[in-house]
């Protein structure tokens, strides 16, 4: 119980300050002491529970929110910070520190601590917590992503890049980390574009005046790619053009494919590149590069064939405010569906080593579009006819024949 008594003594100064500022009355302070004593007593038991720490921290968070609301409501005069201004937040941090001494292996607890520190604006503390967490859990991709995000939010792209690269050396099989690495490099391109606009070096042949006067301490924070791109002459122009064309992002995509040749990786990267708010002149080459790498990396993979064959269809269906009926009636959609089906049919009819898997994926493709209510009946008949043609080939996989029967039975009943 000495530990409980020590904690009670530590809270006297802050409680006294809260009363002096008229933020809490004596009755409320007694209730606070009572609740804290209950929490502290629970923490000194022989085998403390993580839930005890979290309930204690949640209580202190609610108490701090109440204090801030009362400060705002009472419109107190701004004075020099006193102990009550930071004591409740400090106590939250102390509770998490005590919890982590008992539960170092709990990654979720580390992440909760980081989130609390970020919410309170404790930038340096967030950095220290993530560093400690990564030392204990170097195989946890989420911690690298959180740490890199923190560095990016505070204008430290080089530190963020180093963190992700370090994490990928230990977690090369993490799709989330590769996706965040690509996202960071996409943001780097957009950031460089804004920087060059400010410096006046975004146009070809533009005299580089501001860039030459960039302060030495500012240049010290740049990456080698940034420094090369901000040089004058042909060298700087080539470096800028390479960055704007996504050379860094393309390199990361290639590295990701070599480390993790998985269709799930390519799917995640495609969704990211399509949804990222970048210019079309950057997005299109990146998607082209992604599909080329996919074709070279996963040759003959049924899902890779589907992804390549249906590229144009996904572009049409992913357009904002696209109406299914209007889309399926457009000539562009008809051409895209026909091209996808022909490409798929060739792959199925080629008799690959994974003929059964290729047939299963093709069946999924046909059924997916035939079940679309807004699909034109003629297009549905076209897909069914293609399926029938493949199903009648010698040694055709049974899945083709079964799918053909399922798709034609409803029309027979209608007759």
pLDDT (tens digit, 9 = 90+) per residue, 22-81?
Answer: 888 999 999 999 999 899 888 888 788 999 999 999 999 999 999 999 988 887 777 777
Name the pLDDT band for 324 (thresholds 50, 70, 90).
low
* 122: three-class secondary structure by DSSP: coil
Q: How many CA atoms lie within 13 A of 265 on its CB side?
A: 25
Name the pLDDT band for 285 (thresholds 50, 70, 90).
very high
Return the pLDDT at 343: 87
pTM of the model: 0.80
Read off φ and ψ for residue 63, nearest 5 degrees.
-65, -40
User: What are the tens digits of pLDDT across the range 249-271?
Assistant: 999 999 999 999 999 999 999 99
Instruction: Say if residue 376's pLDDT is above 70.
Output: yes
Higher pLDDT, 63 or 204: 63
Mean pLDDT in residue range 83-90? 90
Is 266 in contact with 311 (CB distance < 8 Å)? no
Q: How many CA atoms lie within 13 A of 336 on its CB side?
A: 17
d(CA 213, CA 199): 10
Angle at 82 between CA 76 and CA 87, to 5 degrees: 110
Return the pLDDT at 66: 93
Burial 65-79 (b: 16+ CB within 10 A, else e): eebeeeeeeeeeeee
Instruction: Say if residue 219's pLDDT is above 50.
Output: no
Structure tokens at 345: 């049919």
d(CA 200, CA 378): 55
Report CA dihedral (55, 60, 65, 70) to the nearest 10 degrees. 130
d(CA 188, CA 51): 41
d(CA 164, CA 182): 10
Name the pLDDT band for 402 (thresholds 50, 70, 90).
confident
């Amino acid at each position: 119980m000495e530990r409980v008594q020590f904690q009670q003594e530590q809270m006297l100064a802050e409680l006294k300050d809260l009363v002096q500022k008229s933020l809490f009355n004596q009755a409320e302070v007694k209730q606070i002491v009572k609740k804290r004593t209950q929490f502290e007593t629970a923490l000194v038991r022989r085998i403390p529970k993580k839930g005890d720490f979290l309930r204690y921290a949640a209580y202190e968070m609610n108490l701090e929110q109440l204090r801030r609301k009362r400060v705002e409501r009472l419109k107190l005069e701004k004075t020099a910070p006193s102990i009550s201004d930071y004591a409740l937040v400090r106590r939250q941090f102390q509770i998490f520190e005590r919890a982590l001494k008992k539960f170092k292996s709990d990654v979720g607890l580390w992440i909760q601590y980081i989130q609390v520190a970020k919410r309170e604006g404790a930038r340096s503390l967030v950095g220290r917590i993530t560093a400690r967490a990564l030392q204990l859990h170097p195989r946890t991709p989420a911690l690298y992503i959180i740490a890199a995000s923190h560095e990016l939010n505070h204008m430290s792209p080089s530190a963020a890049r180093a963190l992700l690269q370090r994490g990928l050396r230990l977690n090369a099989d993490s799709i989330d980390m590769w996706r965040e690495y690509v996202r960071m490099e996409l943001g780097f391109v957009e950031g460089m574009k804004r920087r060059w606009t400010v410096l006046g070096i975004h146009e070809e042949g533009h005299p580089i005046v501001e860039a030459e006067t960039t302060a030495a301490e500012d240049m010290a924070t740049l990456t080698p790619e940034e420094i090369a791109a901000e040089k004058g002459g042909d060298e700087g122009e080539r470096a800028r053009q390479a960055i704007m064309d996504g050379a860094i992002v393309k390199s990361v995509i290639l590295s990701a494919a070599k480390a993790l040749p998985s269709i799930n990786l390519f799917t995640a990267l495609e969704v990211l590149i399509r949804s990222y708010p970048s210019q079309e002149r950057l997005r299109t080459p990146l998607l082209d590069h992604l599909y080329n790498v996919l074709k070279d990396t996963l040759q003959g993979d049924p899902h890779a064939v589907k992804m390549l064959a249906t590229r144009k269809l996904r572009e049409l269906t992913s357009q904002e405010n696209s109406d299914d009926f209007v889309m399926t009636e457009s000539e562009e959609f008809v051409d895209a569906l026909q091209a996808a089906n022909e490409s798929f049919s060739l792959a199925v009819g080629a008799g690959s080593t994974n003929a059964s898997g290729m047939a299963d994926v093709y069946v999924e493709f046909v059924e997916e579009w035939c079940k679309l209510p807004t699909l034109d009946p003629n297009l549905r008949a076209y897909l069914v006819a293609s399926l029938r043609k493949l199903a009648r080939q010698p040694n055709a996989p049974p899945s083709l024949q079964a799918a053909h029967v399922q798709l034609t039975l409803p029309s027979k009943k209608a007759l």
